[in-house]
A = this chain, B = another copy of it.
């Protein structure tokens, strides 16, 4: 890795640890709770076909030509309307279409991070965000969570001690990896703290609309008073991830930095996919479609939890998400999840070990399970297999 022909940042890129894990888990005999895939049987294929035909019949040349960096205007208008339902008031000029919400993480690094700056995040947090930020060589400070999300007293202490903090990265709704949701009061508090300590907040909300129990909460962006919250979301979980369509919502001074960097990164996002999505929103009822997703995921989450209660040893804790795709398992201290992973693979079941979700790798007894991508019988059988492994390790 010390090859001087390459940039220094390559030394910080974990050489695709998770890629290797996902490769192992793709063997057909393995029941894998490792990925983070939506249920493909719910993709509205016929409706998308109709939208494609309509776009190509009525607006084919524009759909296939170069377009603007900011994105397709009718889609951005539709997004503003949908965000109003989430109690975020915004306008066209504050929406930037991006190539999947992952791209926002890279753009945030570009706009904000100099080598040695600090990013504050939930501990644990989304693995691919850690990797995207690492490209720009920051340090990380992770803030502990409880069942109501990031602990605000700890966040304030971190802010006091971190003058070079650039932004707080948070996933308030059904967080990846834990499935936890930030409580209402903390959503207000985090904005207060950002104002007080002069930092930005990156609110990553890919799962917010997949709430299947509990009360709907306004996004952190709703409480933004000083244009400090950069909000990002995606069509990947409510529509189709293959189209790589996400958006950022930010105030003008941030947009002025984001747009030229987005342009340098890939000129603009696939405009055919933007127009298909826009046409779909016009022709069909996406709320009805999302309701179907919620029902299925609610059912699968419940089945997974019930199976865990049945097959797991009693001293294992787990979260109980009100939405999203993931839940989080916490083993007793001293049990190494990577060791459990190796045994699980031998028993033909897989998950993602939790350690890489902690930016400073300071816990290794936790792991992530995905429940959105699996039929009932595989959920039950997989959890049973995993229970066998856990029992053999914990009760020996």
A243: Cβ under 8 A from any B Cβ: yes
B8 touches A263 (CB 8 A): no
User: In the complex, which residues of chain B have a beta carbon less than 8 angstroms from the beta carbon of A64?
Assistant: 40, 43, 45, 48, 240-243
Q: Which of A97-105, A287-295, A309-317, A382-390 participates in binding chain B? A: A97-105
Q: A64-B241, A106-B265 are in contact. List 11 more A-B contacts (CB 8 A).
A: A5-B112, A7-B110, A10-B111, A16-B259, A45-B56, A48-B56, A65-B240, A65-B242, A103-B266, A131-B260, A244-B269
In the complex, what residues of B have CB within 8 A of residue A272's CB? 240, 242-243, 273
Of B5, B43, B273, which contacts A200 at CB under 8 A? B5
CB interface residues, A 46-86, toward B, < 8 Å: 48-49, 52-53, 56-57, 60-67, 69
As a 0/1 sequence over residues 105 to 149 of chain A, the CB contacts with chain B under 8 angstroms (1 = contact) are 110001111100100000000001001101110000000000000
List, in ascending order, chain B residues with CB within 8 A of A53's CB.
Answer: 49, 52-53
A6 touches B111 (CB 8 A): yes
**Which residues of chain B are within 8 angstroms of A16 by Cβ–Cβ distance?**
259-260, 263
Q: Specify which chain B residues have a CB less than 8 angstroms from the CB of A37 in the assembled complex.
A: 65-66
- Give the most central of A106, A198, A253: most B CB within 10 Å: A106
Q: Is A377 an interface residue (CB 8 A)?
A: no
Q: How long is the Cα–Cα vector from A100 to B57 in the complex, in angstroms?
A: 24
Residues of A within 8 A of B (CB-CB), count: 79
Contact of A257 with B by CB under 8 A: yes
Q: Say whether, besides A7-B113, A66-B242, A242-B65, A100 and B40 are in contact (CB < 8 Å).
A: no
A332 to B6, CA, bound (A): 42
Please give me the residue from chain B that is nearest to A110 by CB atom. Answer: B135
Contact assessment for A136 and B7 in the assembled complex, using a CB-CB cutoff below 8 Å: yes
